[in-house]
Structure 1
Amino acid sequence: MALMLVAVGVLSAGVLIVYLSGAFRRSSGPPRNIVPVLDGWWGRGKKPEEEEDAAIREFKLEVSAEELEDLNDRLRKARWFESVEETKFHFGIKPEYMKLIQEYWLNEYDWRKQEKRLNKYPQFKTNIEGIDIHFVRATPSKLKPGQRAKPIMMVHGWPGSFYEFFKIIPMLIDPTNHGGTDVDVFEVICPSLPGYGFSEAAHKQGLNVREIGRIFHKLMLRLGFESYYLQGGDWGSMVIDQTAGMFPKHVRGMHSNFTSQLAPLSQVVLGKLVPSLVLDDESYGKFLPSWSRIVFGLKEFGYLHLNATKPDTIGHALTDSPIGLAAYIIEKFSVWTNYDWIDLDDGGLDGYWSKDDLLNNVMIYWVSGCITSSLRLYKETIPRSSELKKFINTVPTGLADLPNDLNRSQRNWAARHFSNIITYRTYPTGGHFAALEVPKLLAEDVRNFVQKVEELYPEVMSSES
């Protein structure tokens, strides 16, 4: 039995290494840009012969009283198990904490108030390649005569949603009241990834980050933006990377708060033996390939293997149980915000996140019933990740390096994929959910990046005027 467990551990580690190295490795001699497939069809049945309906329809989030009562009934009937003493968050999110979530959800959380908040910015749907794409469009209320807002698309990841950007949106569309200047005015587009929130899920296999990148490019063109900026984290960072690789002449610049390029092999050994020779800071050392890194992956990336292999199996449980759904999502807001919180009884959640913020995000998954389709992005992307990364991103790039994120890439590692890094900033704090955690830092960084791009490439702005 012991030998069997060792064999399983080694095999799992090997699978993990293949996943991680394949997902973010740049192969030798890749093309500089992607030659994109310019169309796809993700709707039911065969693609119709008639031209695609390009209408943009208003959308408002309205959950019925019957749906809310069903949710409350399920919450009241939740079944519980007993936790093991003194496990902190090492076994996952504790039932004691989830009981606090249940009590707050039932007795204090005001969905109608939060629903109104989620409807603060205009929302729309439009059909692209056979599926409805939902997006928020936040426009500035005041511009100088002749001034045009800078269009930026901000793309979320899993287990996030368009709600991640609700704290940063006002800092970008109204910068003078949030530490910026009147030349920094943005128009913000926040789409829901297909199969997430209120965007329709694909009805065909194959919808990965590259296909989504093309769909989102079509969305920006449909909104009248021939050129635009991009920003994203988690899956969003990979989607915008693909968009920039396919359509570099349309992307003015992209800013990412999740970079996952690994150190070149030549630096791995030196990084362990003489870290001062190759590491910009000793904190990057723990992201070099090592046994401890493999152990970390085995402990924390079980969700990834499950999502990437059998998403529909776990999807039954998560779609049926609001407590199960909340536990699966909220646990990531603990360990992905700061892994040290795994040693705390509440996973650090109560000292950092408001329960309203946590439940707003969970509710988007619950009321839309999207959790299973959201997990499928892992199944569709990870097996092809090595292939999808075989290009050099040439567009002006800004990179945010957050000290508590799941992975970090120092600048020269990231430069193996991004050939035109304009800004690279290491934040003093923050983890995986940058737009929701440290919106002020991210807004300042995005504004600084865009200013530098437009100083270096003034012809981009002059062509837009």
Structure 2
Amino acid sequence: MGVKCFSVTVTVVAVFACIAYQILLSPLPPPKISTTKYWGPSSQANRVEKSEVKPFKINYSADVISKLSNRLSEPLNLVEPLKNVNFRYGFDKHKLEELVKYWRDEYLPKWDGRQKFFNALPQYTTKIQGLNIHFIHTKDQTDKAKYVIPLLLLHGWPSSVREFYNLIPELTKAKDNIAFVVVAPSLPGYGFSEAAKVPGMNPNEIAIVFRNLMVRLGYDRFLIQGSDWGSLIGSSLAALFPQNVIGFHSNMCVTGFFMNYIKAIIASVYPSLFVAAEYADFHFPIGEKIAYHIEESGYFHLQATKPDTIGIALTANPVGLLAYILEKFSTLTDKNNRDLIDGGLDKHYTKEALLDNIMIYYLSNSITTSVRLYAEGFGIEYLNLKMDRVPVQVPVGCARFKNDLAHELDWQLNVKFPKLIHSTYHANGGHFAAMELPDVLYNDFLQFVNKLNVTAKK
């Protein structure tokens, strides 16, 4: 009788374990999607969408720049920081005053030169699903390469296509017989790409827009490289359209799969079983990593719940916009920058590069529409799709930069990325690797591409 009861118990436990696995842990098929959903103004919903691609240049008048200069000349009346807090309470007053003065007195007077810099890379717009999408599209130096491969290059927040201006020229040069035709779009609602007029523009929907963009440009098969939101969008695109994707490379490979938190705890007991000793501090100690995320995630919760409120505050205040965005460039580049009086900004970036990025948000009036992606990307409609459990069935490469916001072990990534063929660790660099260390990111990406044995002739 005891043996029989034990057998029944084991059977029941096994059945429930299988059910739990199917409900909570097993891989899922891609969700059903529409590739034609309309995101534009309702008054134009029934119009036939033109497929023309138009050249685009950044061109703002002297009057626009003069008005900004006048706004930056208004008294700041900032409160004195507490003694020795540096950037731990946020942006330091004195560093902010220095940057505002530089913005007004040195950067804006040479705006014509900055516009020429922006326009040195060929840019275009085209209507996709009702939205005017802006993108860089360059292949000028690819003629010496034996193999020329289309590449979709995706940025995140609070970045823009400006992050790629030092990376793109490297990508279009021939190296190892390979060069890339680069398409770097502004995300919908970011910079010069039009924002959705209705709710629901989540990472899956952006992935669809960008897949349609690449097909329109004649690229039915292409590579993807992305970070931050660009990583999540690129991952979704590869999962939804594996027939279009040659491979996916990211410098922020995180999946959001809840089981990965349990895996992290298990791995923390014997880290050496899961990661080489010299890279253990990328992932451990877990308590320290969690504390850092809690300390630095205030913006995340605000933008995921009330994006328009913070958007209104920043739209009305260019100085606030600068402080809000550049504080992220400080902390997410290296958390130790919080202990520096200048936030480490001068150590990692030029003032021109930082202010170029601010100008894109300011001139396009896109801060509100950009932060809405947090509400869409963490809304219940998108989370119910369970994309963290939909595997990417194409080759994947993951580059980890030491000071980035988060890292996952290969063991954590293997459900989402079963074809992870390239996994690297870099001792320096943070969240904005394309701007901070473009050569390192380029070489890592090229190593990944060489592993693919791509032979797509131009």
Tell me the TM-score normalised to structure 2 length. Answer: 0.89
Q: What amino acid sits opposite 2:206 in the alignment?
A: I
Other-structure match for 1:106: 104
2:411 & 2:239 partners in 1: Cα distance? 19
Please give the secondary structure, in 2, of the residue aligned with 1:424: strand
2:69 to 57, 72, 77: 72
Contact 2:283 2:409 in 1 (8 A): no
Q: 1:325 to 1:411 in 2, by over 3 A?
A: same
Letter in 1 for 2:431: H
- After superposition, the C-alpha distances for 1:132-168 in whole angstroms (9 at most, x for unaligned) are 00000111335159x5621101000000000111101
For residues 304-331 of structure 1, what are the alpha-carbon distances to aligned partners after superposition, in whole Å with 9 as ceiling and x for unaligned?
0011111111111111111100001101
Q: 1:273 aligns with which of 249, 269, 273?
A: 269
SS of 1:450's partner is: helix
Partners of 2:264 and 2:412 within 8 A in 1: no
In 1, distance between residues paired with 2:265 and 2:320?
Answer: 43
Contact 2:271 2:280 in 1 (8 A): no
Matched letter for residue 389 of structure 1: D
Determine which of 196, 201, 216 is the counterpart of 1:207: 201
Equivalent in the alignment of 1:402: 401
Q: Is the 8 A contact 2:147 2:178 kept in 1?
A: no
SS of residue matched to 1:350: helix
- The answer to whether the 8 A contact 2:154-2:231 is kept is yes
Relative to structure 1, the CA distance from residue 204 to residue 350 in structure 2 (aligned partners, 3 Å threshold; closer, same or farther) is same
Contact 2:154 2:184 survives alignment (8 Å): yes
Cα 1:319–1:131 shift into 2, 3 Å: same
**Is the CA contact (8 Å cut-off) linking 2:274 and 2:411 kept in structure 1?**
no
Q: Name the residue aligned to 1:37.
A: 34
Q: Any residues of structure 2 matched to 1:144-223 within 5 Å, and which? A: 144=144, 147=146, 149-175=148-174, 180-181=175-176, 183-223=177-217
Q: Match for residue 17 of structure 1?
A: none
Partner of 1:425: 424
Q: Structure 1 residues 271 and 43 mapped into 2: Cα distance closer, same or farther (>3 Å)?
A: same
- Residue 120 of structure 1 corresponds to 120
- Secondary structure of 1:418's aligned partner: coil
Conserved 8 A contact 2:274-2:409: no
Secondary structure of residue in 1 paired with 2:212: helix
1:60 aligns with 2:57: yes
> What are the Cα deviations for residues 24-68 of structure 1, in whole angstroms up to 9, with x where unaligned?
xx9412224444322211111156334321111111100111111
| Residues in 2 aligned to 1:232 and 1:31: alpha-carbon distance in whole angstroms | 23
How far, CA to CA, are the matches of 2:47 and 2:335 in structure 1?
52
Q: Residues 45 and 130 of structure 2 are in contact (CA less than 8 Å); yes or no, is this contact kept in structure 1?
A: no
SS state at 1:426 partner: strand
After the TM superposition, which of the residue ranges 133-142 and 54-63 deviates more from structure 2?
133-142
Q: What is the CA deviation profile of residues 373-394 of structure 1, one whole-angstrom value per residue up to 9, with x for unaligned ones?
A: 0000001111234623230111
Alignment partners' CA distance in 1, 2:265 and 2:359: 46
Partner of 2:414: 415
Tell me, in whole angstroms, the C-alpha distance in 2 between the residues paired with 1:380 and 1:85: 39
Give, in angstroms, the shift of residue 421 of structure 1: 1.1
**CA-CA distance at 1:285 after TM superposition:** 5.6
Inter-CA distance 141–97: structure 2 relative to 1 (3 Å threshold)? same
2:20 — aligned with what? none
> What secondary structure does 1:185 align onto?
strand
Q: Distance in 2 between matches of 1:75 and 1:430?
A: 32
Q: What is the distance in 1 between the residues matched to 2:264 and 2:447?
A: 32
> Where in structure 2 are the equivalents of 1:238-387 lying within 5 Å?
238-261=232-255, 264=260, 267-281=263-277, 283-284=279-280, 287=283, 290-383=286-379, 384-385=382-383, 387=386
- Residue 219 of structure 2 is aligned to residue 225 of structure 1: yes
SS at match of 1:224: coil
How far did residue 296 of structure 1 move? 2.0
2:14 aligned residue: none
Q: Given that residues 59 and 115 in structure 2 are in contact (C-alpha distance below 8 angstroms), is that contact kept between their aligned partners in structure 1?
A: yes
Match of 1:89 among 73, 76, 87: 87
Q: How far is the alpha carbon of 1:275 from its aligned partner?
A: 2.8
Cα deviation, 1:243-269, whole Å, max 9, x if unaligned, reads 101110110011111012477466444
- Tell me what 2:8 maps to: none
Alignment: residue pair count: 428
Contact 2:248 2:397 survives alignment (8 Å): yes
Deviation digits for residues 162-214 of structure 1, max 9, x if unmatched?
01111011111113xxxx33x11111110000000000011000001100000
Aligned to 2:9: none
Q: Distance in 2 between matches of 1:142 and 1:288?
A: 42
| Deviation string, structure 1 residues 327-362 (Cα, Å, up to 9, x no partner) | 011011111111111111111111221110100000
Q: Who is 1:441 aligned against?
A: 440
The whole-number CA distance in structure 1 between the counterparts of 2:288 and 2:141 is 51
Aligned position for 2:135:
135
When structure 1 is superposed on structure 2, of 355-364 and 255-264 the one drifting more is 255-264
Q: Name the counterpart of 2:451.
A: 452
Separation in structure 1 between the aligned mates of residue 51 and residue 159 of structure 2, nearest angstrom: 27
Is the CA contact (8 Å cut-off) linking 1:231 and 1:255 kept in structure 2? Answer: yes
Tell me what 1:6 maps to. Answer: none
Is the partner of 1:108 in helix, strand or coil?
helix
2-structure distance, mates of 1:288, 1:372: 35
Which residue identity lines up with residue 88 of structure 2 in the other structure?
A: H
Task: Compute the TM-score of the two structures, normalised by the length of structure 1.
Answer: 0.87
Moved more, 154-163 or 444-453: 444-453
Percent identity reads 36
